[in-house]
Amino acid sequence: MLDHILSILIFFPALAAVLGFVVNKNSIRSYGVAVATIEFVLALWLWFAFDPNASGMQFMEHIPLVKTFGINYIVGVDGISLFIIILAAFFTMIGIASLGETKDIKNMIVTLLFLQMTMVGVFAALDAIVFYLFWELSLVPMLYIIGAWGGPLRIYASVKFFLYTFTGSLVMLVGMLFMAYFYYQATGEWSFAILDWYRLILPESFQLWLFVAFFFGFAIKVPMFPFHTWLPYAHGQAPTIGSVILAAILLKMGTYAFIRFSLPLFPDASVYFMYPIAVLAIIMIIYTAMVAYAQKDIKQVVAYSSVSHMGVIILGTFALNVEGITGSIFLMIAHGVVSGALFFLVGVIYDRRHTKYMSEFGGLASVMPRYAAIFGIMLMASVGLPLTINFVGEFLSLLGFYKQSHILTLLAGTAIIVGAIYMLAAYKKMFFGVVTKDENRNLPDVNKRELMALIPLTIITIWLGVYPKVLLAPINTSVEAVVGLMHEKSLTQEAKSRIPNLSKDTEVITNSAENSAEEAH
């Protein structure tokens, strides 16, 4: 069974979703929780069986799909993707378990299970077309979740979300087809397998163009400044569960894809575009942090802060060294946990008051002490307090980039202070002072169902903040392989010097690099 565990992880939720149509409406919630729990246990089993010392792909499966055109169903997992898959399973589980009163709950749970298939699929796919397939397919359930359960502007928000991402990914598809064509020119065979592509060394000019094509797809998904405008709408209108999944998992597809595709495929282009992208990332960090400070709506604050932190992830990724990339992957998980939790918390208060305006609240700490405590912990984590999960990721990301540029890192660091300002200000407005509104006097504190989601998240936040090594070690192993491959493949002097040489760790890579005598000319 372990041989096919990834396929099971991908298609089990989809199968369960199809069967879910038959389940009675009153029992669908239990059904959803049961399925998601099984999926989560399977994901944990995957972690248990995963060999943290191996840097390559594990649990690979290979089924030809369109043989003549080199499209194969290839899945596999390494330290980079493993934890995001587990995170996806985890969030679907607690998301369904803590789902509040929702209309058409059956459709919602079935949709969530389909969404889970696409999420796991994206992170497990090792064939560009299969990757693209899940990547595009993930838009459809999210479109439905935002469009059917969202706020008043839901249709505009969902269509904007879909079209933005769809456009970007079509440009990316053209890039993928080019990449396959270059591979065909070099070897005489079509292949969309990422691991095959890794062995291809492209001249720098090709790399630049392809990097740009892939960049459109990924940057819109992340979303990077200036392509971020769809996200506040999507978050603003989406129901709580939609925002949680969107922030925790779907946005990570973009940053994950940078590490899976852009860096190892185009090392020279990555170095070439390092500064422009870093500048974009820093604009994104500072600008969205300032925008967040200006918001009146607590959900928008969380949404913009989430974009701001995605900037740090990008910065860490484009540090192009082991510390930075490891940090950015860790921060992806941390950001998923923390911003997912924050969206949950906003959902909790929204369910009670049906408003998200901070001016409507005040003094909540005395009315809802447990809520205030959990919110406080998550907020500290979001700000990047040491001993919380975010701190580890942010620190490593910035440390990584510090090796490339001191000034830019300093700028990014100041943004974290801005982050502290707007988050603390928001906290003060909502929780401290006296209760001014009568509606707020008798609000019930968080109930059991909500605690089911929030307590595990709080535990993870602190546990991984204190002891991140469980995750860092396997991530580090795989990242070293990626960085080694990049150094090996890079052509320009600039790139060779920017990307550190890890000769002691690159035995695996040197072997495969020896096989790749081919070049794209």
Partner 1 sequence: MLSPVNVSIESLNLMTLVPMLIPIVGALLIIVIDLFKSEQDKSLYVMLSLLILGVDFVSLMESAGIFKQNGTIMGVFDVMLIDGLAILSQFIIVGASLLFIPLALTHKRFHEFSYPEFFALFLFMIAGFQFMVATDNLILIFVGLETASLALYTLIAMHNRDKSFEAAVKYFTMGALAAGFYSFGAMVFYALTGSVEINQIAEVLAANSYADIGFVLVGVVFLLASFGFKLSMVPFHTWTPDVYEGSSAALAGYMSIVPKIAGFVVAMRLFEFLIHSGVVWLEVILYMGVVMTMTMANVWALVQTDVKRMLAYSSISHAGFVMAAILIGTTQSNSALFLYWILFSFTNLGSFSMLWISRQKNLPAHQQSDHSYDKFSGMVKTSPIAASIMGLFMLSLAGVPPFALFWGKMYMISSAVTGGYTVLALIMALNSAIAGYYYLKLIVYMFMKEPIVQNNGHVYVANATLPLKTIIGIAAMGTIFAFLAVNQLLEFVTAFVYSSGY
221 vs 498, which CB is nearer to partner 1?
Answer: 221
Q: Which of residues 181-220 bind partner 1 (CB under 8 A)?
A: 181, 184
**Which residue, chain included where needed, has tokens 């992340």?**
222
Report in angstroms how near the CB of residue 62 gets to partner 1 at its nearest.
15
Report if residue 103 touches partner 1, rule: CB under 8 A.
no
User: Residue 474, Cα to own-chain centre: how many angstroms?
Assistant: 18
Q: Which of 13, 76, 79, 147 is close enough to bind partner 1 by CB under 8 A?
A: 147
Report in angstroms how near the CB of residue 284 gets to partner 1 at its nearest.
24
Query: For residue 504, how many other CB atoms are within 10 A of its CB?
Result: 8
Read off the tokens for 324: 């930075």
Report in angstroms how near the CB of residue 131 gets to partner 1 at its nearest.
10
DSSP string, 260-317: IIIHHH-HHHHHHTHHHHHHHHHHHHHHHHHHHHH-SBHHHHHHHHHHHHHHHHHHHH
Please identify, among the stretches 42-50, 129-137, 242-250, 251-259, the one whose residues bind partner 1 according to the rule CB under 8 A. 129-137
Q: Please answer whether residues 317 and 331 qualify as being in contact, where contact means their C-beta atoms are separated by less than 8 angstroms.
A: no
Report if residue 109 touches partner 1, rule: CB under 8 A.
no
**How many CA atoms are closer than 13 Å to the CA of 108, on its beta-carbon side?**
27
Report if residue 144 touches partner 1, rule: CB under 8 A.
yes
Q: Which of residues 17-76 bind partner 1 (CB under 8 A)?
A: 64-69
Measured CA to CA, the distance from residue 506 to residue 521 in angstroms comes to 26
At 442 the three-state DSSP class reads coil
Backbone φ/ψ region at 386: left (φ over 0), alpha (ψ -120 to 50), beta: beta
Q: Please answer whether residues 485 and 264 qualify as being in contact, where contact means their C-beta atoms are separated by less than 8 angstroms.
A: yes
Q: Which of 63, 155, 387, 459 is close enough to bind partner 1 by CB under 8 A?
A: 155
143 vs 383, which CB is nearer to partner 1?
Answer: 143
At 11 the three-state DSSP class reads helix
Report in angstroms how near the CB of residue 187 gets to partner 1 at its nearest.
15
Q: Which of 129, 247, 249, 457 is close enough to bind partner 1 by CB under 8 A?
A: 129
Report in angstroms how near the CB of residue 100 gets to partner 1 at its nearest.
20
Of 315, 316, 314, 295, nearest to 304 by C-alpha is 295
167 vs 492, which CB is nearer to partner 1?
Answer: 167
CA angle 96, 169, 39 (to 5 degrees): 25
Q: Which of 74, 122, 143, 415 is close enough to bind partner 1 by CB under 8 A?
A: 143
Report in angstroms how near the CB of residue 136 gets to partner 1 at its nearest.
5
Binding site for partner 1 (CB under 8 A): 64-69, 129, 132-133, 136-137, 139-140, 143-144, 147-148, 154-155, 158-159, 162-163, 166-167, 170-171, 173-174, 177-178, 180-181, 184
